Chains A and B, each alone.
Chain A
Amino acid sequence: MKYIVCVKQVPDTSGKVAVKEDGTMDRSKMATIINPDDLNAVEAALSLKDKNPDAKVVVVSMGPPPAAGMLHEILAMGADEAVLVSGREFGGSDTFATSQILAGAIAHIGIESDDVIFCGRQAIDGDTAQVGPQIAEKLGIPQVSYAADIEQNGNKLKVKRVLEDGYMNIEVETPCLVTCIKELNTPRYMTVRGILEFDKKPYSVFDFEMLKDEPLIELDTIGLKGSPTNVYKSFSPPVKGAGKMIEATESGISAMVEELAEKHII
């Protein structure tokens, strides 16, 4: 029995954003973090493993070689194995392309009838929420997205799936894919022992050569050139004509409020 967790290393967009001359984000100059929702996916797998100690937690990420550091951290949190899917051919993939590469990598690891795949709902750099459901489709397994609670009973999972105005409780059998949201859990920290021992755990890199014959991967729809969607144009919004500066004093603010009243804004 395996819990496979898909994770992504993302630029930390909560801090300062470096922009290149062409207006695109300069990822090389920005700090990277584990995508927040993906940490909830890792925790979901680890906490189910706490109850089923025979299960193995395998963490998979597609990204450039520096993503190894993130995988080491997740091994130190308690994951058993890590796989980095990395290759120039995969770079620039959109969600369609990414999901088939990850589905191919998961098929390469091997998916069995009692396995569960966990993904974060969405990554903060793209906010698409597409890769999880698309992996499930490629693998031909059911999905439950927006999971806020997961209970496992044998090969059945009961998942609380959040809606805008409430939730659904959904039962699904393994193998299946679940996308996780922040409300699901609080991710654990790395342990000292985990940090000391992560390099003894199995760690592999899947490159293009290893995956190119996987039937789920169509070689003409991966990477920047193969991706179905392309960026036609990217741009930064212009600075709106500066508004009125109001002095932060009683008289300044009163004058503003009077103007608001005169203009019938209030």
Chain B
Amino acid sequence: MYDCTDIGAFKGVWVFCEQREGKLNTTSFELLSEGRKLADDLGAELCGLLIGDGVEGLASELGGYGADKVYVAQSPLLGTYTTDAYTKVLCDAVVEKKPEIVLIGATNIGRDLGPRCAARLHTGLTADATHLDIDTAKYLDFLRETSTIDVDSMTWDMEDKGLKMTRPAFGGHLMATIICPRFRPQMSTVRPGVMKCAEFDEAKSKAVKIEKLNVSLTEDDIKTKVLEVVKETKEIVDLIGAEVIVSVGQGISKDPEKGIALAKELADALGGGVVGASRAVVDAGILSSDHQVGQTGKTVRPRIYVALGISGAIQHKAGMQDSEYIIAINKQETAPIFEVADYSIVGDLFTVVPIMIDALKEVK
């Protein structure tokens, strides 16, 4: 009998490892790397869940990033992602094996699959977590470092082994730690690009255990029909891989074209990089959403991040504050972006950026 309230019956940490056309996405590796730490704190097994058609060969790669075991569910009906098929397979596997934690990358597919599964399994789902803890002592260290909470004046249950899932909340103006005390598994989607990827471990990759799951799936289970999958040839902005990002915010609105041109030129002068954007700029239709940095966009940690005319709502800061060096240029002296900047310049970006470009050219 499956009982989602029987907390003690659930063991192990699972990561749903998303693949498309036989290629694993990097978020799967990030989640396994993070899942490894959680599993170690629990003294539990870390398992990857691999769903697809003929994907067994990918299992060793998952081992290399920390998985002790990989459950493989394969069927010709799983070749292309469909909500119905993947939900059924994931939920059937959870009901059979009872993992304590299930992590899913907050990709377009993960955010489709996660809520459907949580609703079916009758449990909670935290959305787009950016930090995870089991161990209370480690969680308190995290709070000491990232919050203004006076941790030591409060009492905490140090024995608690529940998953503490932290995410930006209320439009990114606050951080919230979410727990799921009454039901299992504890589920969270996790933001791509946030968790650090572990070094690939050749020995672990070879040692990974593989267990094939029985897939009970028929065509009738799948109520949607994928007519075609189209890859768009449009230039994809690689924010996550970029060394230098120059982002633009509402400050460019008096002349968006010139603002973007300046951002590009500055990125080039800094050694080559890409142009990012705040939510306001994307919402206004000035740049496409693949440029967006922030809670609803991408989380980036480049070597150099320049914020041009971005006020710096927490929503934006959540996506860039871990960059190595941050340079902020804003007219408003009180702009919150200056709180996270290493170099703050109060001024009009249309004046400051050309000076900076010239200065950079001179140094080279």
- Chain B residues lying within 8 Å of A256, measured Cβ to Cβ, are 327, 343, 345, 359
With an 8 Å Cβ cutoff, the count of chain A residues facing the other chain is 83
**Known A228-B124, A229-B125, A243-B341: A172·B231 in contact at CB below 8 Å:** no
Q: Which of A143, A243, A252 has the most CB of B within 10 A?
A: A243
Task: Check A168 against B174 for contact (C-beta < 8 Å).
Answer: no
Q: Which of B279-321 contact A (CB under 8 A)?
A: 279-280, 283, 289, 295-296, 303-304, 313-315, 317, 321
Task: Check A130 against B359 for contact (C-beta < 8 Å).
Answer: no
Task: Check A25 against B344 for contact (C-beta < 8 Å).
Answer: no
Chain A 116-149 interface 0/1 with B at a Cβ cutoff of 8 Å (1 = within): 0000001011111111111011100111111000
A145–B86 Cα distance when bound, in Å, is 15
Task: Check B148 against A95 for contact (C-beta < 8 Å).
Answer: no
**Known A136-B116, A168-B228, A231-B178: A128·B321 in contact at CB below 8 Å:** no
Contact of A257 (CB < 8 Å), options: B226, B283, B344, B363: B363
Task: Check A172 against B224 for contact (C-beta < 8 Å).
Answer: yes
A40–B138 Cα distance when bound, in Å, is 42
Secondary structure type dominating chain A contacts: mixed
A257–B325 Cα distance when bound, in Å, is 13
- Chain B residues lying within 8 Å of A126, measured Cβ to Cβ, are 127, 169-170
Task: Check A168 against B352 for contact (C-beta < 8 Å).
Answer: no
A197 close to B (CB within 8 Å): no
Task: Check B148 against A236 for contact (C-beta < 8 Å).
Answer: yes
Task: Check B231 against A165 for contact (C-beta < 8 Å).
Answer: yes
Task: Check A94 against B124 for contact (C-beta < 8 Å).
Answer: yes
Chain A nearest CB: distance from B105 CB in Å? 11
B199 close to A (CB within 8 Å): no
Chain B nearest CB: distance from A153 CB in Å? 13
- Chain A residues lying within 8 Å of B170, measured Cβ to Cβ, are 11, 13, 17, 24-25, 125-126
- Chain A residues lying within 8 Å of B84, measured Cβ to Cβ, are 142
Contact of B180 (CB < 8 Å), options: A23, A124, A229, A258: A229
B270 close to A (CB within 8 Å): yes
Q: How many A-B residue pairs have CB under 8 A?
A: 260
- Chain B residues lying within 8 Å of A28, measured Cβ to Cβ, are none
Q: Which single residue of chain B is at the shortest CB-CB distance from A220?
A: B182
**Known A142-B223, A171-B224, A233-B149: A165·B236 in contact at CB below 8 Å:** yes
B114 close to A (CB within 8 Å): yes
Q: Which of A25, A163, A182 has the most CB of B within 10 A?
A: A163
Chain A nearest CB: distance from B339 CB in Å? 5
Contact of B176 (CB < 8 Å), options: A143, A158, A231: A231
Q: Which single residue of chain A is at the shortest CB-CB distance from B333?
A: A245
A240 close to B (CB within 8 Å): yes
Chain B 170-207 interface 0/1 with A at a Cβ cutoff of 8 Å (1 = within): 11111111111111000000000000000000000000
B342 close to A (CB within 8 Å): yes
Task: Check A158 against B227 for contact (C-beta < 8 Å).
Answer: yes
- Chain A residues lying within 8 Å of B326, measured Cβ to Cβ, are 243
- Chain B residues lying within 8 Å of A134, measured Cβ to Cβ, are 115-116, 118-119
Return 9 A-B CB contacts under 8 Å, by A number. Answer: A11-B170, A130-B115, A146-B108, A164-B107, A228-B122, A230-B178, A240-B321, A240-B339, A257-B362
B residues adjacent to A (C-beta < 8 A)? 80, 83-84, 87, 107-109, 111-112, 114-116, 118-120, 122-128, 143, 146-149, 164, 168-183, 223-232, 236, 270-271, 279-280, 283, 289, 295-296, 303-304, 313-315, 317, 321, 324-327, 329, 338-348, 351-352, 355-356, 359-360, 362-363
Q: Apart from A130-B115, A232-B177, A254-B362, what are 16 other A-B pairs with CB-CB below 8 Å?
A: A126-B127, A127-B128, A133-B114, A134-B119, A142-B83, A144-B224, A170-B224, A176-B223, A228-B122, A228-B123, A235-B146, A235-B148, A237-B175, A243-B341, A258-B363, A266-B270
4 tightest Cβ-Cβ pairs between the two chains A and B: A248-B347, A13-B171, A228-B124, A229-B124
